[in-house]
Amino acid sequence: MITSSRQIANEVNYTTHLEEALSLVVKRSCSVMDADACFVYIHDTQNDRFILMAADPVMSEATGKVEPGCNEGLVGWVALHEEVINLPNAADHPGFRDISNSGNGFFHGFLGVPIVYHGHTIGVLVAQKIKKCSFSNDDAAFFTTLAFQLGEAIHSLLAKWDLSRRLNEPLPGRMLIYGIPCAPGLSMGNIVLSQPADLQSTPDRIAQDIESEVQAFRAAVMAAKNELYAGKKRMRANLADETLSLFDGYIMMVESDRFINGAVTRIRNGQWARGALRDTIFEMAAVFEKMDDPYLAARSEDIRNIGRQVLVHLQQASPESRTYPNQSILAGVEVSVSEISIVPRDRLAGVVSVKGSALSHTAIICRALGIPAVMGLTDLVIGNFEGCNLSVDGSQGLVCVNPSAVDIDEFRQRVEEEQAVASQLETLRHLPAQTLDGMQIPIHVNLGVGSDELSVNAKGYEGVGLYRTEYFFIARNTLPTEDEQYRLYRDLLKFFAPKPVTVRTLDTGGDKNLPFSTIAETNPFLGRRGIRFTLDHTGIFLTQLRALLRANAGIGNLQILFPMISRIHEIDAAISLLDRAYADLAAEGHAAAKPHIGAMIEVPSAVYVISELATRVDFFSIGTNDLTHFLLAVDRSNPSVQGFNDNLHPAVVHVVADIIQKAHRQNKPVGVCGEMAGDPASALLLLGLGVDWLSMSPSSLPRIKWTIRNFTMQQVRGLAGKALEIDNETDTQQLLNFALKAAGLGVLVREA
């Protein structure tokens, strides 16, 4: 029977409509169990009742009509207590109620099982018998297992059903939908759907004329490339040159040998062009999707966007001439940079995307343009929004569908408040991040290869606290040469000179495999990554170290950061290779300069050897993202456990405090380059714990500067002292939020 439950669950996973899925569940269950009838009740959160959504083989006419309350009858009992009940005679149970039209009086034997998703009962499975007898243990085990297996699929289908139902009401009401905040700001407008091109739904098909398919593919690639060039030209007036380089990155992808040759090879092996495009894009995207580093994982979105753009042309549906209303909210499954560039800047008010993250290039462009964006709106069929008015809160990650008059008034008031905040932040642009009592705090920026978020204000940054080099290695088919790396690093150091630039050495391996690597690991998150990988591949490591040392010659602002340090011999080996690279360059007559050396503290074991590490390095940088991930045993890329991934957990707070104290006892400075540094509340805590500098995404910098300038060091030390006495993250968040509000910075608060 357990096999049967898995088969039913798999069938449900392939359905697209809630009613179809639930009908399948009751029919299959009745055929497997010794039951006279099976039912599925679904929780209607809008009215806080349970609705009979499917019944077999009797009472099908009652579906949609029987609606027991959440505390009513045996269905309500099962849901409230989240427990299985197996009764020979339902009427004998204290929770029994004879609900109208339910047919309760007709049946006696009762088996009820809750369908639970993330701790909430979303439905109840019921099986009943006419005779007075309990269900067998096998039947109970089957039904319980089935309910367990159905939770996620039913939740997803239920979300789509609920949205469709509410949008199709005669007078559709307002709805609040939460996603990922990707670009701050507020806007209201009318939805405009992005170009439809679905790689996922592209079928397999045998190529009838291979050469024609190859030509069609190459023509589509050329059209997509021309479109990107045109988009870059259109956006030149709105974006700095460094940000415009994102278009060059897309062009590089669409021109890459790996992409073109991969697709052409598949066509020549018999697949038609669309199928070859689909398989090539998915293969390339999979390399990035498996990566633990969220910045690199987000590159999979860029690759899929390129695939969709080429598919549009393969479908012979090149972007049509469209008119865009004022205050257009561009919405789609994955909105691309190219699609954004098509909309006239004065008409684009916001972006809403079912998929995507704050680290995607689409989000980066939106932030650079000042366009509010919300992404990650999972479980939604975006086409259902057509014709709706939307308000978009890119700071909170909130979309309001069909806002009411009250919503609109409140929204306009918030827009005025945001404009006042923006004006306030603008006045701080050239002021130092200095506390009220005169302590100046260096705040640096995190950047990646390609200077993703450089802007016309980049010269005003105080330095680079984390420069990721992985993408330069991963977004290509071969290893970069020493000279290629030298030019990249040299330009970077010169751009920021004399300000410090901290370059993290190659942080790949395991979950972030190079495209040309053959490494496969069962648990890549705990595998050969970071320093473990580079020490295993000294040729790759030495090439990067040589390029960095050469780039630093005559400039002297380079700081090298070694990632994933977990033991002493790793830092010793890395420094030995750095010395070797320097000696080799000197012997060859190349100009080179040694940098300051840092160790990244993100593996818990490193915390306990900081005193020894301090005798070997010049500084420490705390990677709070991975440190939290490892301390709390939470995979931050797994949505189902995101509620457990909180860097204000007492363990994280105490470990960060220990790191700072141990480093300072050795007279070594400590910075933070993880997400904590870019959050106003967490930044207050870090300053109070004694961190020496903060590094964050450029978009976070103005608010952190504003926060620092509104507190004294005495105040933040007091907050840190109280936080160290708190035993849960919720109270710590509330403590910090209260401090922000008391300082008049309530607009920066992230509610617990």
Active site residues: 361, 673
Three-state secondary-structure class, residue 693: strand
Q: Are 39 and 52 in contact (CB under 8 A)?
A: yes
589 is written with which tokens? 């007559």
Candidates 19, 108, 114; CA nearest to 64 is: 19
Within 13 A of 745's CA, how many CA atoms are on the CB side? Answer: 25
In this structure, the strands spanning 693-696 and 348-353 are: unpaired
CB-count burial class (<10 Å; 0-12, 13-18, 19+) for 293 = buried
**Residue 95 has what DSSP assignment?**
T
Q: How far apart are CA 29 and CA 142, in angstroms?
A: 9
Q: Are 445 and 459 in contact (CB under 8 A)?
A: no
Residue 340: Cβ within 10 Å count: 21
Three-state secondary-structure class, residue 352: strand
Q: Which residue has the tokens 């009086």?
A: 105
Helices (H) and strands (E) in the chain, counts: 26, 21
Residues 165-198 as b/e (b if ≥16 CB within 10 A, e otherwise) read ebbeeeeeeebebebbbbbbbbbbbbbbebbebe
Three-state secondary-structure class, residue 471: helix
Candidates 547, 554, 611, 622; CA nearest to 581 is: 547
CB-count burial class (<10 Å; 0-12, 13-18, 19+) for 431 = exposed
Q: Are 111 and 138 in contact (CB under 8 A)?
A: no
Question: Whats the size of the chain, residue-wise?
Answer: 752
H or E element at residue 208: none
Three-state secondary-structure class, residue 227: helix
Q: How far apart are CA 535 and CA 185, in angstroms?
A: 44
Q: How far apart are CA 635 and CA 628, in angstroms?
A: 10
In this structure, the strands spanning 443-448 and 464-468 are: parallel
Report CA dihedral (194, 195, 201, 202) to the nearest 10 degrees.
Answer: -160
Rg over alpha carbons for the chain, rounded to the nearest Å, is 29
| CA 740 to chain CA mean position, Å | 26
- Sequence-ordered alpha helix ranges (H) in 529-665: 531-536, 538-552, 568-588, 604-607, 610-614, 624-631, 650-665
Q: Are 361 and 249 in contact (CB under 8 A)?
A: yes
Candidates 682, 657, 687; CA nearest to 752 is: 682
